[in-house]
């Protein structure tokens, strides 16, 4: 996580705590839905995430959240060999762990 973003999240969370920082990032509805679309629906480009969005995310919000998730290390991207301007987004190991946690929460909470 870059230092500027860490400071920004920390100031919002009142003190730097990994759980508070995670809550700050993951409390955003769009971030969770974007991670879902990449992890579960295998929608890994801007266009495919936008087209798959039943929640009707706007272009600007999607672009901002993809940048934010990339900046904090939950996503990475590589160039598409077929289309030079297209990025293919991939989950980082941290995002895989977060996604697993989100998938198991309904099971844990229903007990």
CA distance 43 to 74: 15
- Indicate whether 18 belongs to any domain: no
Q: In the predicted model, what is the mean pLDDT of residues 21-39?
A: 83
pLDDT of 48-87, one tens digit each? 999 988 889 999 999 999 999 999 889 999 999 999 899 9
Evaluate whether residue 4 is within a structural domain.
Answer: no
Range of the domain at 75: 30-109
Does residue 102 belong to any structural domain of this protein? Answer: yes
Structure tokens at 19: 């759980």
Give me the CATH number covering residue 87. 1.10.10.10
Contact present, 99 and 36 (Cβ < 8 Å): yes
Task: Give 3-state DSSP helix, strand, coil % of the chain, rounded to 5.
Answer: 60, 10, 30
Q: Is residue 5 part of a domain?
A: no
Question: Alpha-carbon distance 56 to 82, whole Å?
Answer: 27
Q: Is residue 15 part of a domain?
A: no
* pTM score: 0.73
Q: In this structure, is residue 40 part of a structural domain?
A: yes
Is residue 83 domain-resident? yes
The count of domains in the chain is 1
Between 16 and 20, the more confident residue is 20
* In-domain check, residue 20: no
């Amino acid at each position: 996580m870059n230092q500027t973003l860490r400071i920004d999240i920390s100031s919002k969370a009142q003190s730097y705590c990994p759980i508070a920082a995670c809550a700050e990032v993951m409390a955003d509805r769009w971030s969770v839905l974007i991670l879902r679309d990449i992890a579960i629906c295998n929608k890994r480009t801007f266009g495919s995430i936008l087209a798959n969005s039943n929640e009707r995310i706007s272009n600007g919000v999607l672009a901002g959240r993809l940048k934010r998730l990339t900046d904090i290390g939950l996503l990475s991207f590589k160039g598409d060999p077929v289309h030079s301007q297209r990025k293919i987004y991939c989950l980082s190991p941290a995002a895989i762990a977060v996604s697993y946690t989100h998938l198991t929460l309904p099971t844990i909470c229903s007990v």
